[in-house]
Structure 1
């Protein structure tokens, strides 16, 4: 019963985390622009952000957040504005023909930037709620919840790490440099669409 409860949670969270979204796009782009080290730091920040929402969901505060219209609206607007900012950064990069991969972004602090991205992502807490509900009932023990939460955080860290390692391969980075402006323009559009979706969702409530 122990593994029957944890396995569905782990599989559900893996599907949600590994699916393409703003976090995956961002860690991939940071890696392409800045290299493996900054990509891994950004991924670590994303994982820490996931961990925060995991604690919120595991302690039952996620239900309160979902039921609070004002809190959700504020979080969605903040998340949408941050995605617009990422879109603007990518768009600026795509418009600069002389910009090199080493100069695409400002100073480091990539861990904090990854943390901010997932902290401002309301979908993260929904993903946690969905994953935990797959195998944990209302009578789940504290130890089981703690183990499941820790496992999901580890899955998130490994997932972002795999993306960072994959996109830091020499062949992929060289290909990115050849078509950097096109890639950055597409990424800017994806961030803008995601940000618009969050803000529209907040306004329509």
Structure 2
């Protein structure tokens, strides 16, 4: 693969792994989905989160994130819209914290919701753009580009689906059920803070 070495791919995987596991909207969302909906309900949501995040990699590979640098107002608008979306999610989570658990959403709705959450936040796109430029400065050709995207998609799927599976274990779910109102409110506050930071940093 022209412009890509195994060492570069290894560094890419390590960097991406640390970024995914850092506390953020995606991790909070997949954790909450696993706790509240179980494996059956959380896996489509986790799949949507992974696909949404990996689409930012594809966008960066295609050079479309350059538009954000060319048109700063577009990035600012994206930050505000993404932040408002996170605040809306936080509001819904807080207002329904004391409610009984709803029926899990269908696979299609869960998939779409997961994709929407990660696509509403431009930070993964900017992260991918900077990481790709620093790790793969000479990336050329369809084969090399496809390989890098395949690695990114695989890593995103591994962590999001893995977390959804592990955190939906019966013992963990039982503890969540016992403390649902507090856990949901804490998660809502954290997501709201992330949404506000996204807006304020535009």
How high is the TM-score relative to the length of structure 1? 0.89
1:170 equivalent in structure 2: 170
3-state DSSP class of the match of 1:61?
A: coil
Contact 2:48 2:112 in 1 (8 A): yes
Contact 1:91 1:185 in 2 (8 A): yes
CA distance in 1, matches of 2:126, 2:25: 15
CA distance in 1, matches of 2:60, 2:147: 14
2:114 equivalent in structure 1: 114
Shift, 1:5, TM fit: 2.2
Establish whether residue 124 from structure 1 lines up as the match of residue 128 from structure 2.
no
3-state DSSP class of the match of 2:96?
A: helix
Q: What's the CA shift string for 1:46-98, capped at 9, x where partnerless?
A: 1111222111101111222234212111211111111111111111122x2xx
Shift, 1:15, TM fit: 1.1
Shift, 1:116, TM fit: 0.3
Establish whether residue 74 from structure 1 lines up as the match of residue 77 from structure 2.
yes
Establish whether residue 6 from structure 1 lines up as the match of residue 4 from structure 2.
no
CA distance in 2, matches of 1:174, 1:100: 14
RMSD: 1.7
Segments of 5+ residues of structure 2 without an aligned counterpart are none
CA change 1:110–1:81 in 2 (3 A) is same
1:42 equivalent in structure 2: 45
1:25 equivalent in structure 2: 28
CA distance in 2, matches of 1:106, 1:9: 35
CA distance in 2, matches of 1:168, 1:50: 21
Shift, 1:140, TM fit: 3.8
Establish whether residue 190 from structure 1 lines up as the match of residue 190 from structure 2.
yes
Contact 1:43 1:161 in 2 (8 A): yes
CA distance in 2, matches of 1:37, 1:73: 37
Q: What's the CA shift string for 1:76-133, capped at 9, x where partnerless?
A: 1111111111111111122x2xx323x2x78441110000001111111022123323
Contact 1:47 1:156 in 2 (8 A): yes
Contact 1:54 1:125 in 2 (8 A): yes
CA change 1:189–1:140 in 2 (3 A) is same
CA distance in 1, matches of 2:19, 2:130: 9
Shift, 1:42, TM fit: 0.7
Equivalent positions of 1:151-170 (< 5 A) are 151-170=151-170
